[in-house]
């Protein structure tokens, strides 16, 4: 143990010596320093697609609505109230007396300008999925507007309370996307006071913030640092250069938990193993259902969750995240039973196992644990560990018989964002089951919740019966932060520093 602390001490000393940032921050000077891994090219809410930008956008800007993370209810934010006129029209009454960080007053002109601007593809909003449902907006009064949708889209409220944030029309018309990216102006609880592109941003509390559903911020200053390397983040955390980090792997979180507060929250991402049941890659053992069942019995998902993922993660059996609408849970389940797996393999004509290519793009440790379980029943793999984009292209090109993948459903709480994506005969579909496709299409296009549920249940049951997928587990995120900080994480993976407090 002495050796260990010496070593850590040496590493810390090295880090302290090299970091130019004063190591003492935190409660004493009301400054919260947070570390994120990804480098942002600019701070324009509509140009960047990284999760980091979503986080910043929630702090600097406001949407018309706000979804209460605790209840899931949509509340008025910059809008005071809203009303569905019909399936494609929503009326909003806006909040009065709100001003942007530069002093510009917020009114219907700003909201209408923003909605119309983002709805035009030529303006280059990088994530078109966030805005391509908007037809147009019109001003109906100084503080009221009407929004037209292209087609009925119940998820509009979700987008209006998330990624669609309101820009100041005069300022944006003057400086454009580039100006917004280097010197952002919003109505949010924090204003940007310093931008060192890709490196460090400083946010200060917006003292004139309206008392909306987000509440008022308490911490005076947030320093946002970009630290790509995880061990460097830990070094900074241990040396006091950083007060808050996230996405900490469970083992490290456990160790850091001795000195820091650790919160764990589930995410919508699930891991799964997918088989080439349809024979897209040619003749493989995977087209035999007995082999797929054998693999389902061979992988000890419970042990992987308990030992490797830990936290809020759970074994999943249905091909979706349990909280998603339509995620039918009463499907066939395959327990860990290596003896049964061997029997099934023998029945399928592989008493001595076989060798098959196996691919993964993240969580090498989990993949190795799966490989270890497979080896125990006689299946050996040629393991390929690729970058996500490379593996995705290979998968979509029909070259991958057997893979460990994950899917986060873009945080959309509906089965259509996962099961329908993978089993509707698209490029990612390795089952190509006509029944499943029919049921999913019926469910996706129906507005009757009962019809949707029934059809999703049929599809998910068949997917489990046929073992087109072996769903593995849900993911979780660890947040590690200073003991002086009070912080609550939410399953949508958007840290809310405007709700954080010093103890």
Partner 1 sequence: MTDVTHSIEEEDFGPSPREILKKSILAHRSLLLGFGAIVIIVLAALLAPVLAPHDPYLQDLSIRFTPPVWQDGGSWEHILGTDHLGRDYLSRLLYGARISLTIGIGAVLISGTIGTTLGVCAGYFGGRVDMVVNYLITVRLSMPVVLVALAIVAIFGGSLNIVIMVLGFLLWDRFAVVMRSSTMQVRNMDYVQSAQAVGCSTLRIVLTEIMPNIMNNLIVVATLEMAHAILLEAGLSFLGLGVQPPLPSWGLMVAEGKEMLFFEPWLIMIPGAALFILILSINLMGDGVRDVTAPAGKN
Residue 475 structure tokens: 């993911």
Interface characters, 1-20, with partner 1 (x: CB under 8 A) = x-xx--xx--x---------
**Residue reference for tokens 């393991």:** 383
For position 354 contacting partner 1 by CB under 8 A, the verdict is no
Task: Please select the residue that binds partner 1; options are 24, 173, 303, 451, rule is CB under 8 A.
Answer: 303
What separation in angstroms does the CA of 85 have from each of 89, 91, 97?
A: 5, 7, 26
Pick 249 or 279: Cβ nearer partner 1? 249
Pick 231 or 323: Cβ nearer partner 1? 231
Query: Where would I find the beta strands (DSSP E) of 376-415?
Result: 380-385, 402-407
Which residues on neighbouring strands pair with residue 205, listed in sequence order? 190
Task: Please select the residue that binds partner 1; options are 84, 153, 383, 502, rule is CB under 8 A.
Answer: 383
For position 392 contacting partner 1 by CB under 8 A, the verdict is no
Pick 106 or 358: Cβ nearer partner 1? 358
Task: Please select the residue that binds partner 1; options are 26, 249, 279, 353, rule is CB under 8 A.
Answer: 249
For position 440 contacting partner 1 by CB under 8 A, the verdict is no
Smallest distance, Å, CB 206 to partner 1?
Answer: 37
Instruction: Fill in the DSSP letter of residue 155.
Output: T
Pick 387 or 501: Cβ nearer partner 1? 387
Phi-psi region of 149 (alpha: psi -120 to 50; beta: other; left: phi over 0): beta
Smallest distance, Å, CB 51 to partner 1?
Answer: 21
Answer for the pair 307, 299: CB distance below 8 angstroms, yes or no. Answer: no
The rounded distance, in Å, linking the Cα atoms of 163 and 294 is 43
Which of the stretches 193-201, 217-225, 231-239, 269-277 binds partner 1 when contact is defined by CB under 8 A? 231-239
Answer for the pair 332, 468: CB distance below 8 angstroms, yes or no. Answer: no
Interface with partner 1 in residues 156-175 (CB under 8 A)? none
First to last CA, the chain: 32
For position 307 contacting partner 1 by CB under 8 A, the verdict is yes
Residue 87: CB atoms within 10 A of its CB come to 12
Pick 394 or 421: Cβ nearer partner 1? 394
For position 389 contacting partner 1 by CB under 8 A, the verdict is no
Residue 477 structure tokens: 């995120």
Which of the stretches 36-44, 117-125, 229-237, 314-322 binds partner 1 when contact is defined by CB under 8 A? 229-237
For position 385 contacting partner 1 by CB under 8 A, the verdict is yes
The rounded distance, in Å, linking the Cα atoms of 304 and 313 is 10
Instruction: Fill in the DSSP letter of residue 359.
Output: E
Which of the stretches 19-27, 158-166, 322-330, 375-383 binds partner 1 when contact is defined by CB under 8 A? 375-383
For position 355 contacting partner 1 by CB under 8 A, the verdict is no
Residue 475, H or E segment: strand 469-481
Sign of CA dihedral 303, 304, 308, 312: negative
Smallest distance, Å, CB 386 to partner 1?
Answer: 9
The rounded distance, in Å, linking the Cα atoms of 301 and 373 is 10
The rounded distance, in Å, linking the Cα atoms of 17 and 48 is 34
Answer for the pair 147, 183: CB distance below 8 angstroms, yes or no. Answer: no
For position 306 contacting partner 1 by CB under 8 A, the verdict is yes
Give contact residues for partner 1 (rule: CB under 8 A): 1, 3-4, 7-8, 11, 230-231, 234-235, 238, 249, 251-252, 255, 300, 303-304, 306-308, 364-365, 367-369, 371-373, 375, 382-385
């Amino acid at each position: 143990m002495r050796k260990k602390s010496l070593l850590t001490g040496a590493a810390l000393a090295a880090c302290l010596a090299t970091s130019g940032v004063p190591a003492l921050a935190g409660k004493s000077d009301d400054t919260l320093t947070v570390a994120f891994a990804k480098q942002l090219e600019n701070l324009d809410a509509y140009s960047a697609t990284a999760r980091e930008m979503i986080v910043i956008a929630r702090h600097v800007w406001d949407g018309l609505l706000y979804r209460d993370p605790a209840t899931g209810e949509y509340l008025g934010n910059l809008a005071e109230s809203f009303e569905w006129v019909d399936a494609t029209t929503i009326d909003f009454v806006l909040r009065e007396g709100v001003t942007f960080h530069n002093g510009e007053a917020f009114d219907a002109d700003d909201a209408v300008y923003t909605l119309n601007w983002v709805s035009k593809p030529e303006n280059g909003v990088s994530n078109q999925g966030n805005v391509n449902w908007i037809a147009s907006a019109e001003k109906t009064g100084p503080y009221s507007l009407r929004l037209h949708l292209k087609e009925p889209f119940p998820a509009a409220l979700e987008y209006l309370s998330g990624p669609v944030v309101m820009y100041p029309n005069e300022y944006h018309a003057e400086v454009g996307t580039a100006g917004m990216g280097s010197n952002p102006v919003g109505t949010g609880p924090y204003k940007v006071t310093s931008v060192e592109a890709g490196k460090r941003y400083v946010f200060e509390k917006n003292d004139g913030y309206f008392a909306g559903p987000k509440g008022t911020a308490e911490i005076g200053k947030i320093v946002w640092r970009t630290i790509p390397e995880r061990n460097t983040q830990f070094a900074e955390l241990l040396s006091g250069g950083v007060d808050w980090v996230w996405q900490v792997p469970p083992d490290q979180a456990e160790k850091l938990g001795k000195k820091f507060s650790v919160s764990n929250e589930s995410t919508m991402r699930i891991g799964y193993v997918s088989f080439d049941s349809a024979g897209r890659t040619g003749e493989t053992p995977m087209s035999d259902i007995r082999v797929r069942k054998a693999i389902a019995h061979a992988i000890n998902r419970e042990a992987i969750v308990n030992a490797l993922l830990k936290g809020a993660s759970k074994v999943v059996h249905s091909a979706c995240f349990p909280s998603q609408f339509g995620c039918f849970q009463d499907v066939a389940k395959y327990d860990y039973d290596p003896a049964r797996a061997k029997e099934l393999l023998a029945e399928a004509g592989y008493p001595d196992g076989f060798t098959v290519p196996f691919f993964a793009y993240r969580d090498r440790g989990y993949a190795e644990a799966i490989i270890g379980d497979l080896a125990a029943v006689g299946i050996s793999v040629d393991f390929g560990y690729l970058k996500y984009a490379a593996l995705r292209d290979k998968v979509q090109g029909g070259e991958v018989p057997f893979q460990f993948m994950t899917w986060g459903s873009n945080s959309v709480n509906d089965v259509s964002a996962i099961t329908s994506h993978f089993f509707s005969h698209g490029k990612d579909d390795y089952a190509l089951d006509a029944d499943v496709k029919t049921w999913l299409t019926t469910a996706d296009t129906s507005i009757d919740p009962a019809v949707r549920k029934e059809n999703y249940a049929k599809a998910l049951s068949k997917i489990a019966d046929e073992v087109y997928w072996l769903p593995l587990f849900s993911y979780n995120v660890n947040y590690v932060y200073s003991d002086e900080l009070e912080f609550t994480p939410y399953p949508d993976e958007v840290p809310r520093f405007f709700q954080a407090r010093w103890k």
